[in-house]
Amino acid sequence: MTLGGVLFSKDGKTLLRFPTKANTDVEAVTVIKDGRTSRYVYQIPEECESVGKYAFALIYRDVKGFSHIELPEDLKSLEKGAFSSFDPDTKCDELVIGKKLTKIAERAVNSLWTTGFVVDPKNPEYSSKN
């Protein structure tokens, strides 16, 4: 099924694919205008429990200024390559790891993709230090 132009599993619990041309063409993306530039923000729905393999892997091809993805509080897993990008112009400000996220697959997040991580102190598997 699709929600706002984004592909999910039939039950809506796994985000399978975010479109590569994901700027204003995707209903679920909020555009924040800052002077002459625009930033694109996407909030993953609360029902989603997993971000599938390579779900956001190719968004850098056509999207500049895509800067923030909000993970739902109940998200449980990030699969391999979920957030992969090698384009230096495509960076997420920060990735927030909620208290229920207990599975982060190998290479789920490319180090070039985000500028930092914030981990909920109640998360039993992960922590971050400032």
The pLDDT-based confidence of 123 (bands split at 50, 70, 90) is very high
Can you read off the two tokens belonging to residue 61? 């091809």
Distance CA 63, CA 119 (A): 27
Q: What is the CATH number of the domain that holds 62?
A: 3.80.10
Q: Is residue 17 part of a domain?
A: yes
Q: Which structural domain range is residue 70 located in?
A: 2-119
**Nearest CA among 8, 20, 10, 79 for reference residue 44:** 8
- pLDDT per position as a tens digit, 61-79: 455 556 677 888 899 999 9
Full-model pTM: 0.81
- Residue, of 118 and 38, whose pLDDT is higher: 118
CB atoms within 10 A of CB 75: 22
User: What is the band of 9 on the pLDDT scale with cuts at 50, 70, 90?
Assistant: very high
In a domain, 126, yes or no: no
Q: What are phi and psi of 39, to 5 degrees?
A: -115, 145
Number of domains the chain contains: 1
pLDDT greater than 90 at residue 4: no
Q: How far apart, in whole angstroms, are the C-alpha atoms of residue 50 and residue 12? A: 10
6: DSSP letter: E
- Which DSSP state fits 2? E
Q: Assign 24 a pLDDT band (cuts: 50, 70, 90).
A: very low
1 near 10, Cβ under 8 Å?
yes
pLDDT of residue 90: 60
Question: Max CA-CA distance within the chain?
Answer: 42
Residue 130 placed within a domain: no
pLDDT of residue 112: 61
Comparing 21 with 61, the larger pLDDT belongs to: 21
Using a pLDDT cut of 70, give the percent of the chain over it. 73
